[in-house]
């Protein structure tokens, strides 16, 4: 992974858990889906990996179920917080493109926080996750999606002298909106992000020996508000009320075709293929 990405998250560590409205909705939905899909009773021998663990938000969900949690991240500063949050977990500073584990050692992997959107070689990262999963093991993946309503706001901002502060040149905004494949697009404060089409994600998952089972969209209808508006410390009371209503509708749309097609974040539950008989 690019050293600039490591530096970005090291610098971000002190405020990483100060969720803006955008992330409040995203993580509420992610954790609700995780609880439902990766649920089940405690199993002391069940091993789970939080790939791109950040400050250990998902790692703690595994620990609370009595599983044996592990976390990987490139930012030592983020993992200092994760180690305090989940002291019984095992953490390693590494990239998801080269996981420091043997083959087939994990029952479940979660890769959230748009981790895959920051890596230089997302196909390699998915191959690594498939490698360390046991046959029948599950991957819960969340990443940036293309297309989305927010790309329309990006283009509008470029056409209006960057009125919405996306900081994206017109040519790049247009290319991202009309492209038929995954693209890399800058986002203010985060650098270049991979925006994936469902087709490209499915192809990479198949190559990694992973089979998609269920999919959801997050931040589909909420994107009638520009994401740059939602990346703020707080919203005005009126805007917050509108956002809460949109969030409820977004939750209802999440498993539908429309909710997935328009989503800014695509969530996929995939399974490591079983060996042929």
The DSSP result for 107-164, as a single string, is EEEEE-TTHHHH-S-HHHHHHHHHHHEEEEEEEEEEEEBSS-HHHHHHHHHHHTTSTT
Integer CA distances (angstroms), 172 to 102, 152, 176, in order: 40, 12, 6
Q: Is the pLDDT of residue 182 over 60?
A: yes
Q: How confident is the model at residue 258 (pLDDT cuts 50, 70, 90)?
A: very high
Tokens 């079983």 belong to 274
- Tell me the per-residue pLDDT of 190-227, one tens digit each, with 9 for 90 and over: 999 999 999 999 999 999 999 999 999 999 999 999 99
Do 95 and 233 form a contact (C-beta atoms < 8 A)?
no
Q: Which of 52, 126, 59, 49 is nearest to 94 (CA)?
A: 52
Do 70 and 102 form a contact (C-beta atoms < 8 A)?
no
- Tell me the per-residue pLDDT of 92-129, one tens digit each, with 9 for 90 and over: 999 999 999 999 999 999 999 999 999 999 999 999 99
Q: Would you report the helix, strand and coil content of the chain in percent, each value rounded to 5?
A: 45, 20, 35
Q: What is the sign of the dihedral through the CA atoms of 119, 123, 128 and 129?
A: positive
Q: How confident is the model at residue 43 (pLDDT cuts 50, 70, 90)?
A: low
How far, in Å, CA of 210 to CA of 92, rounded?
A: 24
- Return the domain boundaries, the chain: 3-271
Q: Is the pLDDT of residue 253 over 90?
A: yes
How far, in Å, CA of 76 to CA of 221, rounded?
A: 35
How far, in Å, CA of 64 to CA of 164, rounded?
A: 40
How far, in Å, CA of 202 to CA of 29, rounded?
A: 22
Instruction: Supply the CATH classification number for the domain 3-271.
Output: 3.40.50.150
How far, in Å, CA of 116 to CA of 141, rounded?
A: 8
Residue 18, φ and ψ in degrees, nearest 5: -90, 85
Q: Which of 41-45, 232-236, 247-251 has the highest mean pLDDT?
A: 247-251
Q: Which residues, 6 or more positions from 40, have their beta carbon under 8 angstroms from its beta carbon?
A: 65
Q: How confident is the model at residue 277 (pLDDT cuts 50, 70, 90)?
A: very low
Do 168 and 158 form a contact (C-beta atoms < 8 A)?
yes
Three-state secondary structure call for residue 2? coil
The fraction of the chain above a pLDDT of 70, given in percent, is 97
């Amino acid at each position: 992974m690019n050293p600039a990405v490591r530096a970005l998250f090291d610098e971000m560590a002190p405020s990483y858990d100060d969720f803006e409205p955008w992330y409040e909705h995203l993580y509420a939905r992610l954790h609700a889906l995780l609880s439902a899909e990766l649920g089940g009773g405690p199993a002391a021998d069940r091993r789970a990996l939080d790939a791109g663990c950040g400050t250990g938000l998902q790692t703690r969900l595994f620990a609370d179920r009595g599983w044996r949690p592990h976390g990987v991240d490139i930012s030592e500063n983020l993992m200092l917080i994760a180690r305090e949050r989940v002291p019984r977990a095992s953490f390693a500073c590494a990239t998801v493109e080269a996981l420091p584990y043997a083959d087939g050692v994990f029952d479940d992997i979660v890769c959230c926080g748009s981790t895959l959107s920051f890596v230089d070689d997302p196909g390699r990262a998915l191959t690594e996750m498939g490698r360390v999963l046991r046959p029948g093991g599950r991957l819960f993946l969340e990443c940036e999606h293309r297309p989305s309503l927010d790309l329309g706001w990006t283009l509008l901002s470029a056409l209006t002298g960057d009125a919405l502060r996306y900081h994206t040149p017109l040519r790049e905004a247009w290319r991202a909106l009309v492209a038929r494949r995954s693209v890399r697009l800058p986002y203010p404060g985060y650098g270049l992000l991979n925006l994936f089409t469902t087709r490209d994600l499915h192809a990479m998952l198949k190559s990694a020996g992973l089979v998609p089972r269920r999919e959801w969209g997050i931040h589909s209808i909420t994107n009638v508000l520009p994401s740059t508006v939602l990346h703020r410390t707080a919203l005005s009371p009126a805007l917050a009320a509108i956002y809460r209503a949109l969030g409820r509708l977004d939750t209802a749309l999440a498993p539908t075709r429309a909710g997935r097609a328009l989503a800014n974040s695509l969530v996929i539950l995939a399974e490591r293929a079983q060996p042929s008989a």
